[in-house]
Structure 1
């Protein structure tokens, strides 16, 4: 079976992102050491040497190199593909890249200076607003119950900004073990690429394959034992990219499958983030307050090593991605059955690990005292034991 020229073109763009990211990681390390964006060894960390945390710069450079190459090629070589979709979708891709740049820059400043939560959130909102103003807007979705579309009107603007900022923080909060956030993003990108190819959404496929190339290259340095952390410059950027990819898949589309698939694939960090927010509100703590009760902490308490914990989440994410792909290629009652299977299996695993303890306290009160102690005992063994974004201030 021959591969179409369009697929080859997209794979080349992914290759550019991979190579540039791979080559830029050493540069990102030097920048991190120069500006003291370092995670130093402490009682709450296991890294025995200072660890740079600005790996996001390398992924940003890889993604930007590939996308700028495509934009220049559109002008110089008249490739047409991207500009055709841009006119159809009414998207200004230069503006999208500018918004993504702002997001990465905010994360990089936070890696160095540890911004106050409000300032950090404001920066994320500014980046999201630029992306929205560039045409990446959830203005409508197909009505699943009747012909036509559901129009959001003016509410589409704050809704889309909230959606993008939420994706940024979901990936930021899940970045707690070596290779975890980058791996989840890589799996999600590959699945969204395959779905976009099947739906003939060239622009969505392009952003997905470029993100896949960058994250795979970064994993060479970030998978346990890591030699560099992505920091907020990476986690916020990856979250923004995933948000943009999912929105590009739904703009003026007769289906919402890419948007739905994105939410399904990201269900693990989304649920972990939701429960973390509930947990901290119930304990009268700030939402950004650090704790050791995230999903990866639960896996460590179950006795898994950091590497095995990450691989378990990888496998779980791949399971959800496969389900999302099946949903994108089925219809009718089969969609409901696949979704139900994904939901039941995921809920059962999360329930077993005790993730829902803040919202299902009555259920967990019936567990044995040993199980309760195990769910709340301090972390032992390896692993960073906290999200990079939550712990920087203690480590500086």
Structure 2
């Protein structure tokens, strides 16, 4: 906890700045995303009787994620950390984003959606991001995962992608959950002294607040 407070004190101005960046970018892009969704017919259908996760009384644009994605990319470019891992995360998330946008527009089969999600996950792994170890609950050492870590990483990325999609039925629900997650992970990044990742996550948090 002390490490986080020290980190926050040193980089408080940058943290607030990137949070503002995210808020500003999202505020700017959201109306544009809504307009594009309506213009190109990327809208959610009306809720049907018996559906619990949809309460739409009129067609609603499904392009809100576009404003979050564009804000995310701009924040990434402003930070300027083009390390192999960060670039891999951006490329992998872009593959998943555009694939799911295509699904919103045309409707993809389950196999097609999973293929896109697994492709994005493998890009992330191939650029060096994967679970390598976990804390040993029965001791103070770390348990090395080896190749199992790759499997866990793929399952985690694909699982989180679909979990967020499932809860995306009420206004602000998915965005709120992801924002809390982003702040939580940013605290871990601060504890580890990873400035670029913490700024990126605080920027995403600002994006989600505006959204």
Q: Which TM class, normalised by the smaller chain length? A: 0.7 to 0.9
Is 1:188 aligned to residue 197 of structure 2? no
Partner of residue 170 from structure 2, selected from 177, 194, 217: 177
After the TM superposition, which residues 1-396 of structure 1 pair with which residues of structure 2 at under 5 Å, given as runs?
A: 4-41=9-46, 43-44=48-49, 46-71=55-80, 91-218=84-211
**Secondary structure of 1:141's match?**
strand
Q: 1:207-232 CA distances to partner (integer Å, 9 max, x unpaired)?
A: 321221111111xxxxxxxxxxxxxx
Distance 1:115 1:62 in 2: 26
Shift of 1:33: 1.7
- What's the TM-score once normalised by structure 1's chain length? 0.47
Q: 1:223-254 CA distances to partner (integer Å, 9 max, x unpaired)?
A: xxxxxxxxxxxxxxxxxxxxxxxxxxxxxxxx
| RMSD between superposed Cα atoms in Å | 2.4
- Whether the aligned pair in 1 keeps the contact of 2:189 and 2:197 (CA below 8 Å) is yes
Runs of 4+ in 1 over 3 A off after TM superposition: 1-5, 40-49, 198-201
Q: 1:80-129 CA distances to partner (integer Å, 9 max, x unpaired)?
A: xx57xx5xxxx532222111111111111111011111100110111111
**Secondary structure of 1:150's match?**
strand
CA distance 1:41–1:165, change in 2 (3 Å) = closer
**Secondary structure of 1:120's match?**
helix
CA distance 1:153–1:40, change in 2 (3 Å) = closer
**Secondary structure of 2:129's match?**
coil
CA distance 1:162–1:43, change in 2 (3 Å) = closer
Q: Which has the higher contact order (CA 8 A, sep 6+)?
A: 2
Distance 1:46 1:122 in 2: 29
Distance 2:90 2:47 in 1: 37
Structure 1 unpaired stretches of 5+ = 72-81, 219-396
- What's the TM-score once normalised by structure 2's chain length? 0.84
Shift of 1:195: 4.4
Distance 1:22 1:160 in 2: 32
Aligned residues: 202
- Whether the aligned pair in 2 keeps the contact of 1:14 and 1:66 (CA below 8 Å) is no
**Secondary structure of 2:183's match?**
helix
CA distance 1:172–1:48, change in 2 (3 Å) = closer
Structure 2 unpaired stretches of 5+ = none
CA distance 1:48–1:176, change in 2 (3 Å) = closer
**Secondary structure of 1:124's match?**
helix
Q: 1:134-189 CA distances to partner (integer Å, 9 max, x unpaired)?
A: 21110122333235321122222222111111111111111121111111222232
Distance 1:193 1:92 in 2: 16
Higher mean C-alpha deviation, range 113-122 or range 41-50:
41-50
Match of 1:322 in 2: none
